[in-house]
Structure 1
Amino acid sequence: MSSESTASMRSPSPSLPYRSTGRLAPWAPRFLTVFALTLMAITVALCLPVWTGALSSDVLNAATPLVMWLPALVLVAVHLGARNPVPVMRWAGLGIRPAGRTSAVFGLLLAVMVLVPALTIAVTASLGLVGFAPSEEAAATAPMVAPMIVVMMAATLGEEAAWRGYLQSTLAPLGFWRSTLVIGAYWSLWHLPVAAAYWTDGRMDGREVLVTSVNLLLSAVVLSAVRYLSGSVWPAVAGHAMLNTVLVFAYSHLITSTADLPDGAYWGYALLTWAVWGVAILVLTRMVARRAA
């Protein structure tokens, strides 16, 4: 066995080439199809009682940790059923070596997840689209954000081990951009049944569903970028947890409610938010390309 093969076996995750290197593995198309259809069917079945009015969307809130673990559970079941010739843990990128690089990417990601809402709020508030209005609970809630990230990682691991872990490795021969956009598009699509349930229950309106779908696609690029930069899925797990804690805190406690904005201000706010995400994506993907070079 060559030294290169030995090194590959010892690496914590498979190689993730930046550029396309060829076709997917022979087992991949069937696996991806079965996984995607099975996961969507289960998700739709869970949301159907809310769509029909038989249950309140409060049930989905209570079941959120289970729903977030569905991708990993379905993935493992399909993997075992198909007898895919890859080790699940390694293919999901669950190693942390080299630890120094993974830690550096964690720090980079934290900076991104703080700067994105900070810049968004600063720009949109300065233009009068929203008001900078810290809530009465903001000061008391802020110290809880950091521990909540750790707690939330227990849930986001169930998604990221599948999305930016196993699936990113499986689609890696397509190159960074194609694999990332395929995963991001399906990730956003997978959230639509849940968003539709909240829309049916009156907790979201149509424009919120659309904006959330675009936000998911943009943040998916960031999460894939940190997987590429670190070689590990753990920064993506943390990044996903930060989306659900840092950004939620900032937009819920530091500005006036965007749900109450008139359409002009709402879409102006959304476009500027996407522009800030675009800057973050540009910086991170350039780093991915430079590392590949």
Structure 2
Amino acid sequence: MTVSPRPDWPAIGVFAVTSVALSWLVALPLWLRGLGLADPFLGLTAAAMMFTPALGVVAALLVQRRTHGRRGARVVLRELGMWPLRPAARTIWMCVAVIVAAPLLIALGLVGVGALGLATFDVVGFSGFAQTLQAAVPPGTPLPPIALLALVQVAMIPIGAVINAPFAFGEELGWRGFLLPALRPLGVWPALLISGAFWGFWHSPLILLGYNFLEPNAFGVLMMVMACVFFGILLGWTRLRTASVWPAVFAHGAFNASAGLGALVVAAGSATPAPVLAGPLGLIMWVVFAIVIGVLALTGQFRADRLDARLGPDPVRAAPVPTV
């Protein structure tokens, strides 16, 4: 595959404008109704928004077709990391690994929340979970053993990752399928940071309603940008390591499926910490992400020779060595 020595800025620009404009268009009914997080269509709107980056990719590909000529479907699928899976074993095992890793990351964040005394957890009796279930059914309704129900909830996370995958694909096709490789000529770290920051900014229509952080303001948007930079580095690493978008898709889906683990293990009567600190994308999770990123960096996982050459060379490392 021939790699451009510089980013295709016209295609990147069209992708950026299209994805953001469509996200606001999809979210517009929420703003017009003025119900905020209480809007009954909030979940449906958030799910629909997840497909707008994929539509942005379509717009970018149309620009590339006009500027670079027509390319075959196999070339486009390969450049977006959709197909082929080569080497297949590495990609498949990476998908399995990220589905397991996502709830572990959330769990590490909860350990930090508990260690700081921000919340109390009950991982034996699951008293908070039991209280929630009892409030949701008529009084006196018999319930199965709470520990069994909690175990079923945890066991459902891989299934949730698969169920979430089509929605996560709508986003990941844009962020890690198109944008990250498109920015790769800038270097590995600039591409990871910029693509992650834009991913966070794209969430603005929902964040400004109080989604995720209960901060409907610029601070909430900044929180989302930073959270997506941290998480985006990890998702981007799977893309750069395998040249496939699918590990990022399943990691994204598994993370969303794991986001409710805190509600499962919280103790009845526990304080409710601010999501800015203790939410799935809050400050404590940033520390967890940073630790994992640090381990990957220290073990050389971001070195150019560890990344898949099909995504293009690091322009710094790949520069020709002067000869005398």
Alpha-carbon distance in 1 for matches of 2:97, 2:275: 34
- The 8 Å contact of residues 68 and 158 in structure 1, kept in 2 or not, is answered as yes
Judge conservation of contact 1:49–1:55 (CA < 8 Å) in 2: no
| RMSD (Å), alpha carbons | 3.2
Partner of 2:302: 288
TM norm structure 2: 0.72
Q: Pick one of 215, 218, 232 that aligns with 1:205.
A: 215
Cα deviation, 1:197-240, whole Å, max 9, x if unaligned, reads: 346xx993347665444322211111000111112111001111
Which residues of structure 2 form unaligned runs of 5+?
131-148, 308-316, 318-324
Q: Which residue of 2 aligns with 1:23?
A: 6
Which residue does 2:81 correspond to in 1?
Answer: 93
Distance 1:217 1:263, change over 3 A: closer
After superposition, give the CA deviation of every residue in 1:118-166 in whole Å (9 maximum; x if it has no partner).
Answer: 2222232133122113323634422322211111111111111121012
Q: Counterparts of 2:91 and 2:277 in 1: how far apart (Å)? A: 39
Q: SS at the partner of 2:156? A: helix
How far is 1:73 from its partner? 1.7
> Unmatched 5+ residue regions in structure 1?
1-7, 9-13, 16-20
Matched, 1:58 2:47: no
Q: Could you say if the C-alpha distance between residues 158 and 271 of structure 1 is closer, same or farther in structure 2, counting changes exceeding 3 Å? A: closer
Aligned-pair identity in percent equals 28
1:249-288 matches, cutoff 5 A: 249-255=260-266, 260-261=272-273, 270-285=282-297, 286-288=300-302
Matches of 2:276 and 2:35, distance apart in 1: 34
Q: RCO (CA 8 Å, sep 6+): is it higher in 1 or 2?
A: 1
Instruction: For 1:77-156, list aligned pairs within 5 A.
Output: 77-83=59-65, 85=68, 87-95=75-83, 96-133=85-122, 134=126, 135-136=129-130, 138-156=150-168
1:11 equivalent in structure 2: none
CA distance in structure 2 between the partners assigned to 1:278 and 1:46 by the alignment = 33
Contact 1:164 1:223 in 2 (8 A): yes
Query: Higher Cα Rg: structure 1 or 2?
Result: 2
Residue 49 (structure 2) aligned to one of 46, 54, 67? 67
Change (3 A) 1:102 1:92: same
TM-score, normalization: structure 1? Answer: 0.79
Question: Cα distance, 1:278 vs. partner?
Answer: 0.4
The structure whose residues are more often helix, as a share, is 1
